Amino acid sequence: MSRLLDDRVFNKETLLDSTVNLVPFGILLFFFVLFAVTIPEGWRDGALMDIYMWTIMISMIWGLLHLTYATAKRI
């Protein structure tokens, strides 16, 4: 019953359970940085495809962070 009354979302147990999402988060960050570094000339003719790629990567990172928070809140 005291666990239900605890206002903290991230305690020691929750952090340990949420560390499983560090691997996909690291992979997403790797590709985010790789994509940012490999286009030194800036926008090119396929700028629409670049926008799609940024949108996909940012939405995946946001989704993973949101899922991790929602899971930690319910554990």
Report the distance separating Cα 64 and Cα 74, nearest Å.
15
- pTM (2 d.p.): 0.68
Q: Note down the domain range covering 65.
A: 2-74
Nearest to 65 by CA among 29, 13, 30: 29
Alpha carbon of 19 to those of 9, 12, 50, 65: distances in Å? 14, 11, 31, 12
Number of domains comprising the chain: 1
Q: pLDDT digits over 53-67, tens only?
A: 889 989 999 999 898
Q: Check if the beta carbon of residue 67 is closer than 8 Å to that of residue 13.
A: no
Q: Give me the residue label for tokens 């691997």.
A: 23
pLDDT in tens, 2-27: 554 455 666 777 778 788 888 888 99
